Amino acid sequence: MNSYKYLFIILLFKFLIVIIQCQPTIECQGDYQCGVQPQALCYKGLNILPGIGLDETNQRVVIVGKFNGSSNAPSNVNNVITVPFGGGKPSILFPITTDLSGGPGYSMVLGLYGYLRQTNTPYIHNSQRAAPVVGPYHGGDTSIPNVWYIRGYNLGLYFDEVNKRTFYCDWNLHRVSNIPKTVDEKNAGDTIMLDGSYQNNRCNFLGLKDTNLLYVVQVDYANTVVTNISKIPVGCNNCSLSELKFVLSVPVEAGSFVMSNTHFYLGMKPTWSSNTSSGIMQIPINGGPSKMLTNDPVVSMALDSANTRIFYTTTNNEVKSVGPLGSSTPAVSVLYQSAASPLNRCACAPGFTGDQCQTCYNGKVRYLSNGTPQCVALLADGRPSNCIFDYECGNVPMAYCDGICACRTNFTGSFYN
C-alpha cells in the first residue's frame, strides 16, 4: 500500500513539473495565438479571490486567483500567486490542483483564509461537497485537509506564529496550543476560552495585542449594521462573559480587519446589507479620532510585521499598499491592476504540454459538460487521480466515483479488467 502511495507522489510531482515548466512562454494578444483551443490560453487579467498574505522574506504579496484568457473566460485552475512589494506582474507560485467542478467529489477553492509567514504556508478556504472547510495547502497536495469545517458559523482565525498558538471562534472562542495542520492536531491542543453566549455567537475577526490581549471583532446586523470590538485575556479558560470587555463600536460593516499595538484597521466596501463607504479606517486603540487611509473598495488586508504598511486587494482585482502608517498623510501605492497590466503570456491548462498545448502528459483527457477538456493525472493502476463521472472508473457498476474511483462494498480487483 505504501509503495503505491509513494509512486503516486512521484507521478504527481512529475505532473506538476510539466504544468510549471512546459507551458509556452511567448507573448500574445489572443488565445488563438497560443495553440489548441481551449486548453491553450493567453493569460490576460487576474480574478483575485478573497484573502491576502505576505512573504516578507522574498518581499512578495501572496494571493489566490484565476487568470483570464483573451475571451475573459477564466482558466480552469486556481493558483497561489505572488506580486512584488514594489509592484509588477504577478507570478504563479504553484497551481491548486484540488478543484473538481462536479460529481460527488466536488471541490472548489473560495479564497485564502490565512497565511503563515514563517513557513510560507497558505491556509485555503475550500468548498467540499458544498460545505466550506479551511486547511493548509502545499503545491502538489491532492486534497485540502479539513482543519476547520465552517458550517453554520463565522470562523474568526488568528495565527500567533511567534508563540506557536492559534485562536479561533466557531460556536465558542478557542485557544489552540499549536498551529494545526490537521483536525486532530487542532483538537489535541484545543481549550475553550469563552462559551458561545457572547453576542449571538458572531465572531468575524480576531487580533492580538502585546501577546496577552485577544481582540474579538463582531459585525452586528440586528438593527443598524455596526462593527463591535471587545477584548479578553488570552489566558482565559472557560471564562465568564464578564471577562469579555467592550472596547468600541463603529457604524460600519467591516469586511476585513488587522491591528497593531496602537491602532485598529477596518477594511470596507459597499455590500447589500449596508451603505458602508469604501476604504480603510484607522482607529486608535486608546481613543481618539479615526481617519480614512484610502477610499478603495477593500476586500482583504495584511499588515507588515513592522506595522508600517498595509497591503490590500480590492473588488477591482487590484493589489495595493498604503503607508507609512505613522505618517500624517500615508500614500497609496498600486502594485498590480488586472485591467491595466495584462500578462499577455501564453499558458497551457494544467497537465497539457507541447508547443500547441496538444498533449496530456501522463494523464487522460476528461471532457466536462461544457466541452472543456481537463488533463487528469493517472495513478499507477491506471485510475485517474480524481474523478467526476462513474464511467471514468472502469468496471461500472462495481466501481464508482466518489471523488476518487472506488469499489462498491465487497468488490475487489482491477478497475479495468
By C-alpha distance, which of 279, 218, 275 is closest to 246?
Answer: 218
Give pLDDT, residue 11.
46
Give pLDDT, residue 25.
59
Amino acid at 8: F
How far is the C-alpha of 321 from the C-alpha of 59, rounded, in Å?
13
Amino acid at 32: Y
In the chain, the N- to C-terminal Cα span, in Å, equals 20
Domain extents for the chain?
31-337
How far is the C-alpha of 354 from the C-alpha of 2, rounded, in Å?
33
The three-point CA angle 157-309-87 to 5° equals 105
Task: Print pLDDT tens along the chain (417 aa).
Answer: 444 444 444 444 444 444 433 444 588 888 889 998 888 888 888 999 999 999 999 999 999 999 887 666 666 689 999 999 999 989 999 989 888 888 888 889 999 999 999 999 999 999 987 689 999 999 878 789 899 999 888 899 999 999 999 999 988 999 999 999 999 999 999 999 998 765 555 789 999 998 899 999 999 887 788 999 999 999 999 998 889 999 999 999 999 999 999 999 999 998 776 667 899 999 999 988 999 999 999 999 999 999 999 999 999 999 999 999 999 999 999 999 988 888 888 888 888 999 899 999 889 898 887 777 888 888 888 888 888 889 888 888 999 998 889 999 999 887 766
Using the 8-state DSSP alphabet, how is residue 75 labeled? P
Coil/strand/helix, residue 98: coil
Neighbours of 341 (CB within 10 A): 19
Name the grid cell of 85.
512589494
From residue 398, alpha-carbon distances to 106, 158, 390 in Å are 21, 46, 10
Name the grid cell of 79.
493558483
Phi, psi of 40, rounded to the nearest 5 degrees: -105, 130
Neighbours of 291 (CB within 10 A): 13
Give pLDDT, residue 187.
97
By C-alpha distance, which of 137, 148, 149, 154 is closest to 53?
Answer: 137
How far is the C-alpha of 279 from the C-alpha of 348, rounded, in Å?
37
Q: What does 235-260 look like in DSSP terms, one character per residue?
A: T-SSB-GGGSEEEEEESS--SEEEE-
Neighbours of 295 (CB within 10 A): 12
Q: Please report where in the chains the cell 499577455 appears, as a residue.
A: 344
For 31-337, CATH gives 2.120.10.30
β pairing state of 91-96 and 107-116? unpaired
By C-alpha distance, which of 388, 387, 407 is closest to 397?
Answer: 407
List, in sequence order, every residue forming a beta bridge with 280; answer none if it has no partner. Answer: 267, 294
By C-alpha distance, which of 33, 30, 46 is closest to 340?
Answer: 46
By C-alpha distance, which of 13, 40, 8 is closest to 94?
Answer: 13
Query: What residues contact residue 212 under an 8 Å CB cut-off, 6+ apart?
Result: 233, 234, 235
Cβ proximity of 311 and 302 under 8 Å: yes
How far is the C-alpha of 102 from the C-alpha of 237, rounded, in Å?
43
